[in-house]
A = this chain, B = another copy of it.
Amino acid sequence: MARPPADPDRRRERAHRVLDAAAELILRWGYDKTTIADVARAAGVAKGTIYLHWKTRELLFAALLRRERVATLEEVRRAAPGTLRELVGAVAAEVMRRPLMRAVLLADTDVLGKLTTMKRERPSDPGQAEALNRMLGALRKHGAIRPDLTDAEHVSVLTSVVFGFLTAARLTPEPYRVPPERLAELLADTAHRALEAGREPSPRDARAIAEAVSAYVGHVAGVAGRKLESALEGQLP
Protein backbone atom coordinates (compact mmCIF):
# COMPACT_ATOMS: atom_id res chain seq x y z
CA MET A 1 0.00 0.00 0.00
CA ALA A 2 2.95 2.29 0.59
CA ARG A 3 1.14 3.96 3.46
CA PRO A 4 2.85 7.20 4.41
CA PRO A 5 4.44 6.57 7.77
CA ALA A 6 3.97 8.32 11.03
CA ASP A 7 7.20 8.04 12.86
CA PRO A 8 8.42 4.69 11.45
CA ASP A 9 9.49 3.40 14.84
CA ARG A 10 6.23 4.19 16.56
CA ARG A 11 4.39 2.74 13.62
CA ARG A 12 6.30 -0.48 13.93
CA GLU A 13 5.80 -0.63 17.66
CA ARG A 14 2.08 -0.21 17.15
CA ALA A 15 1.97 -2.98 14.59
CA HIS A 16 3.60 -5.30 17.09
CA ARG A 17 1.19 -4.24 19.79
CA VAL A 18 -1.70 -5.15 17.53
CA LEU A 19 -0.12 -8.49 16.74
CA ASP A 20 0.41 -9.15 20.44
CA ALA A 21 -3.28 -8.64 21.00
CA ALA A 22 -4.14 -10.82 18.02
CA ALA A 23 -1.86 -13.57 19.31
CA GLU A 24 -3.55 -13.70 22.66
CA LEU A 25 -7.01 -13.66 21.17
CA ILE A 26 -6.41 -16.29 18.52
CA LEU A 27 -5.08 -18.67 21.14
CA ARG A 28 -8.00 -18.00 23.46
CA TRP A 29 -10.86 -17.96 20.96
CA GLY A 30 -9.49 -19.26 17.69
CA TYR A 31 -9.22 -17.43 14.38
CA ASP A 32 -12.86 -17.79 13.41
CA LYS A 33 -14.09 -16.08 16.57
CA THR A 34 -11.46 -13.38 16.78
CA THR A 35 -12.76 -10.17 15.26
CA ILE A 36 -10.88 -7.11 14.17
CA ALA A 37 -12.86 -5.08 16.67
CA ASP A 38 -11.68 -7.40 19.44
CA VAL A 39 -8.10 -7.05 18.37
CA ALA A 40 -8.39 -3.28 18.14
CA ARG A 41 -9.91 -3.01 21.60
CA ALA A 42 -7.29 -5.31 23.13
CA ALA A 43 -4.52 -3.35 21.44
CA GLY A 44 -5.96 -0.01 22.48
CA VAL A 45 -6.39 1.38 18.98
CA ALA A 46 -9.36 2.09 16.78
CA LYS A 47 -10.52 -0.38 14.20
CA GLY A 48 -9.60 1.95 11.36
CA THR A 49 -6.03 2.09 12.61
CA ILE A 50 -5.61 -1.58 12.01
CA TYR A 51 -6.57 -1.05 8.40
CA LEU A 52 -3.78 1.49 8.15
CA HIS A 53 -1.43 -1.44 8.65
CA TRP A 54 -3.16 -4.28 6.83
CA LYS A 55 -5.71 -4.16 4.04
CA THR A 56 -7.58 -7.21 5.29
CA ARG A 57 -8.04 -9.31 8.36
CA GLU A 58 -6.34 -12.18 6.61
CA LEU A 59 -3.19 -10.12 6.04
CA LEU A 60 -3.06 -9.21 9.70
CA PHE A 61 -3.06 -12.83 10.75
CA ALA A 62 -0.63 -13.75 8.03
CA ALA A 63 1.72 -11.23 9.57
CA LEU A 64 1.09 -12.69 13.00
CA LEU A 65 2.01 -16.19 11.87
CA ARG A 66 5.06 -14.94 10.06
CA ARG A 67 6.20 -13.09 13.14
CA GLU A 68 5.82 -16.23 15.20
CA ARG A 69 7.84 -18.14 12.67
CA VAL A 70 10.59 -15.56 12.67
CA ALA A 71 10.70 -15.42 16.46
CA THR A 72 11.03 -19.18 16.59
CA LEU A 73 13.75 -19.28 13.97
CA GLU A 74 15.66 -16.45 15.58
CA GLU A 75 15.72 -18.34 18.84
CA VAL A 76 16.94 -21.39 17.00
CA ARG A 77 19.63 -19.35 15.35
CA ARG A 78 20.63 -17.97 18.73
CA ALA A 79 21.06 -21.51 20.00
CA ALA A 80 23.68 -21.89 17.28
CA PRO A 81 23.08 -25.56 16.51
CA GLY A 82 26.05 -27.25 14.91
CA THR A 83 24.64 -30.71 14.31
CA LEU A 84 21.40 -32.19 13.15
CA ARG A 85 20.68 -33.25 16.70
CA GLU A 86 21.20 -29.79 18.05
CA LEU A 87 19.11 -28.32 15.28
CA VAL A 88 16.20 -30.62 16.00
CA GLY A 89 16.58 -30.08 19.72
CA ALA A 90 16.56 -26.33 19.38
CA VAL A 91 13.54 -26.34 17.09
CA ALA A 92 11.67 -28.75 19.34
CA ALA A 93 12.38 -26.84 22.52
CA GLU A 94 11.31 -23.61 20.93
CA VAL A 95 8.19 -24.92 19.25
CA MET A 96 7.03 -26.71 22.35
CA ARG A 97 6.92 -23.53 24.34
CA ARG A 98 5.14 -21.62 21.60
CA PRO A 99 1.53 -22.66 21.42
CA LEU A 100 0.90 -20.61 18.31
CA MET A 101 3.82 -22.10 16.43
CA ARG A 102 2.71 -25.54 17.51
CA ALA A 103 -0.81 -24.85 16.32
CA VAL A 104 0.53 -23.86 12.92
CA LEU A 105 2.80 -26.87 12.54
CA LEU A 106 0.08 -29.25 13.64
CA ALA A 107 -2.60 -27.49 11.60
CA ASP A 108 -4.73 -27.18 14.71
CA THR A 109 -8.18 -26.22 13.46
CA ASP A 110 -9.37 -25.13 16.89
CA VAL A 111 -6.87 -22.32 16.78
CA LEU A 112 -6.45 -21.69 13.08
CA GLY A 113 -10.05 -22.19 12.03
CA LYS A 114 -10.48 -21.31 8.40
CA LEU A 115 -6.83 -20.40 8.09
CA THR A 116 -5.93 -24.07 8.32
CA THR A 117 -6.86 -24.87 4.77
CA MET A 118 -5.42 -21.69 3.28
CA LYS A 119 -2.05 -22.40 4.85
CA ARG A 120 -2.06 -25.89 3.45
CA GLU A 121 -3.12 -24.73 -0.01
CA ARG A 122 -0.25 -22.29 -0.28
CA PRO A 123 2.59 -24.27 -1.90
CA SER A 124 5.70 -24.00 0.20
CA ASP A 125 8.45 -21.89 -1.25
CA PRO A 126 10.62 -23.98 -3.60
CA GLY A 127 13.59 -22.09 -2.22
CA GLN A 128 12.98 -23.67 1.16
CA ALA A 129 13.09 -27.15 -0.29
CA GLU A 130 16.23 -26.24 -2.13
CA ALA A 131 17.93 -25.00 1.02
CA LEU A 132 16.96 -28.17 2.82
CA ASN A 133 18.38 -30.26 0.01
CA ARG A 134 21.55 -28.24 0.10
CA MET A 135 21.97 -28.91 3.82
CA LEU A 136 21.22 -32.59 3.38
CA GLY A 137 23.74 -32.76 0.61
CA ALA A 138 26.42 -31.18 2.77
CA LEU A 139 25.59 -33.38 5.75
CA ARG A 140 25.78 -36.41 3.53
CA LYS A 141 29.02 -35.35 1.97
CA HIS A 142 30.68 -34.86 5.32
CA GLY A 143 29.39 -38.08 6.80
CA ALA A 144 26.98 -36.52 9.24
CA ILE A 145 23.95 -38.51 8.16
CA ARG A 146 23.36 -42.11 7.25
CA PRO A 147 24.39 -42.79 3.67
CA ASP A 148 22.02 -45.76 3.39
CA LEU A 149 18.95 -43.54 3.39
CA THR A 150 17.78 -41.43 0.48
CA ASP A 151 17.01 -37.77 0.89
CA ALA A 152 13.30 -38.54 0.70
CA GLU A 153 13.72 -41.07 3.47
CA HIS A 154 15.62 -38.66 5.66
CA VAL A 155 12.94 -36.04 5.23
CA SER A 156 10.16 -38.54 5.82
CA VAL A 157 11.68 -39.82 9.02
CA LEU A 158 12.44 -36.34 10.24
CA THR A 159 8.98 -34.93 9.62
CA SER A 160 7.34 -38.04 11.01
CA VAL A 161 9.35 -37.92 14.19
CA VAL A 162 8.95 -34.21 14.74
CA PHE A 163 5.27 -34.28 14.00
CA GLY A 164 4.79 -37.31 16.19
CA PHE A 165 6.51 -35.85 19.22
CA LEU A 166 4.66 -32.58 18.91
CA THR A 167 1.26 -34.23 18.69
CA ALA A 168 1.80 -37.11 20.99
CA ALA A 169 2.65 -34.70 23.79
CA ARG A 170 -1.07 -34.26 24.34
CA LEU A 171 -1.92 -37.79 23.31
CA THR A 172 0.13 -40.04 25.53
CA PRO A 173 -1.90 -41.68 28.30
CA GLU A 174 -1.64 -39.90 31.64
CA PRO A 175 0.70 -42.03 33.71
CA TYR A 176 3.34 -41.98 30.98
CA ARG A 177 3.42 -38.22 30.46
CA VAL A 178 6.81 -36.56 30.21
CA PRO A 179 7.52 -32.82 30.60
CA PRO A 180 7.94 -30.86 27.36
CA GLU A 181 11.59 -29.96 27.88
CA ARG A 182 12.45 -33.60 28.33
CA LEU A 183 10.36 -34.47 25.30
CA ALA A 184 12.36 -32.03 23.23
CA GLU A 185 15.54 -33.79 24.33
CA LEU A 186 14.08 -37.16 23.50
CA LEU A 187 13.00 -35.90 20.11
CA ALA A 188 16.47 -34.61 19.36
CA ASP A 189 17.96 -37.85 20.55
CA THR A 190 15.60 -39.87 18.41
CA ALA A 191 16.38 -37.86 15.30
CA HIS A 192 20.06 -38.20 16.08
CA ARG A 193 19.95 -41.95 16.44
CA ALA A 194 17.62 -42.45 13.50
CA LEU A 195 19.36 -40.23 10.99
CA GLU A 196 22.89 -39.34 11.95
CA ALA A 197 25.79 -41.58 11.09
CA GLY A 198 27.43 -43.39 13.94
CA ARG A 199 30.97 -42.24 13.44
CA GLU A 200 32.39 -39.07 14.90
CA PRO A 201 33.24 -36.69 12.08
CA SER A 202 36.74 -35.32 11.79
CA PRO A 203 37.17 -31.79 13.16
CA ARG A 204 37.30 -30.57 9.61
CA ASP A 205 34.05 -32.33 8.74
CA ALA A 206 32.48 -31.18 11.98
CA ARG A 207 33.21 -27.62 11.02
CA ALA A 208 31.70 -28.09 7.58
CA ILE A 209 28.65 -29.72 9.11
CA ALA A 210 28.14 -26.90 11.58
CA GLU A 211 28.55 -24.50 8.73
CA ALA A 212 25.88 -26.27 6.66
CA VAL A 213 23.43 -26.34 9.54
CA SER A 214 24.10 -22.73 10.35
CA ALA A 215 23.72 -21.74 6.72
CA TYR A 216 20.43 -23.55 6.53
CA VAL A 217 19.04 -21.91 9.63
CA GLY A 218 20.40 -18.60 8.45
CA HIS A 219 18.77 -18.96 5.09
CA VAL A 220 15.40 -19.99 6.41
CA ALA A 221 15.43 -17.34 9.10
CA GLY A 222 16.56 -14.77 6.58
CA VAL A 223 13.80 -15.50 4.12
CA ALA A 224 11.24 -15.58 6.90
CA GLY A 225 12.57 -12.31 8.25
CA ARG A 226 12.27 -10.60 4.91
CA LYS A 227 8.78 -11.88 4.41
CA LEU A 228 7.92 -10.60 7.85
CA GLU A 229 9.13 -7.14 6.94
CA SER A 230 6.66 -6.87 4.09
CA ALA A 231 3.96 -8.55 6.13
CA LEU A 232 4.39 -5.88 8.77
CA GLU A 233 3.80 -3.33 6.05
CA GLY A 234 0.63 -5.07 4.99
CA GLN A 235 1.97 -6.71 1.87
CA LEU A 236 1.49 -10.39 1.20
CA PRO A 237 4.66 -12.29 0.28
> Measuring CB to CB, which residues of chain A are less than 8 angstroms from any residue of chain B?
124, 129, 149, 151-153, 155-157, 159-165, 167-169, 171-173, 175-178, 182-183, 186-187, 189-190, 193-194
Contact = CB atoms under 8 A, between A and B. Distances in A.
B186 A172 contact: no
A171 B153 CA distance: 14
Contact of A153 (B149, B163, B186): B186
A171 B190 contact: no
Contacts of A151: 176
A163 B155 contact: no
In the complex this chain forms, how many copies of it are found?
A: 2
A161 B190 contact: yes
Nearest to A123: B173
Contacts of A163: 164, 167-168, 171
Given A163-B171, A167-B164, A193-B193, A186 B129 contact: no
Given A160-B172, A189-B194, 12 more contacts: A153-B186, A155-B172, A155-B173, A156-B177, A156-B186, A160-B161, A160-B164, A161-B164, A164-B167, A167-B167, A190-B193, A194-B194
A156 B168 contact: yes
23 contacts: A151-B176, A152-B175, A152-B177, A153-B178, A153-B186, A156-B172, A156-B176, A156-B178, A156-B186, A157-B186, A159-B164, A159-B168, A160-B168, A160-B187, A161-B161, A161-B164, A161-B190, A163-B171, A164-B164, A164-B167, A189-B194, A190-B193, A190-B194
A194 B159 CA distance: 16
A65 to B, nearest CB: 18
Sorted nearest first, the 10 A-B pairs with minimum C-beta distance are A164-B164, A160-B168, A193-B193, A160-B164, A155-B176, A190-B194, A152-B176, A160-B165, A156-B178, A163-B164
